[in-house]
Amino acid sequence: MNYAKSSINIKDSHNFLHNKTLIEKLLDTSNLTKDDIVIEIGPGKGIITEALDKRCKQVTAVEYDEELYRNLLTREWNNTSIIHADFLCYEFPNDTKVKIFSNIPFNMTTDILMKILDNFQVIEDFYIIMQREAAERFIGAPYKPESLKSLLFKPIFTSSIIHIFNNTDFYPVPNIDIVMVHFHKKEFCDIKKAPIIMYWDMLTYLYNMNGSTFKEKTREIFSYEQQKRVKNSVKFDMDTPISLWTFEQWLGIFNCYKQFVPDNKKQQVKGAFKKYEISQNRLDKIYRSRNY
Domain that holds residue 154: 10-185
103 domain residue, yes or no: yes
Are residue 57 and residue 82 in the same domain, yes or no?
yes
Domain total in the chain: 2
Share of the chain above pLDDT 70, in %: 92
pLDDT in tens, 82-91: 999 999 999 9
On the question of pLDDT at 100 being above 70, the answer is: yes
**pLDDT band, residue 115 (cuts 50/70/90):** very high
pLDDT in tens, 227-275: 998 988 888 888 889 999 999 999 999 999 999 999 999 999 999 999 9
On the question of pLDDT at 49 being above 70, the answer is: yes
52 versus 282: which is more confidently predicted? Answer: 52
pLDDT in tens, 211-227: 999 999 999 999 999 99
2 domain residue, yes or no: no
Are residue 175 and residue 257 in the same domain, yes or no?
no
Q: How far is 206 from 179, CA to CA, in rounded Å?
A: 30
- Confidence (pLDDT) at 292: 39
Share of the chain above pLDDT 90, in %: 82
- Confidence (pLDDT) at 13: 57
Are residue 94 and residue 178 in the same domain, yes or no?
yes
Domain boundary among 185, 219, 252: 185
On the question of pLDDT at 4 being above 60, the answer is: no
Are residue 39 and residue 171 in the same domain, yes or no?
yes
Phi, psi torsion values for 113, nearest 5 degrees = -70, -35
Are residue 180 and residue 205 in the same domain, yes or no?
no
Are residue 102 and residue 210 in the same domain, yes or no?
no
Maximum Cα interatomic distance, the chain, rounded to a whole number of Å: 67
289 domain residue, yes or no: no
Domain boundary among 185, 210, 244: 185
Are residue 138 and residue 238 in the same domain, yes or no?
no
Are residue 138 and residue 107 in the same domain, yes or no?
yes
pLDDT in tens, 121-175: 999 999 999 999 999 999 999 999 999 999 999 999 999 999 999 999 999 999 9
1 domain residue, yes or no: no
Domain boundary among 164, 185, 206: 185
Are residue 47 and residue 178 in the same domain, yes or no?
yes
CATH number assigned to the domain comprising residue 251:
1.10.8
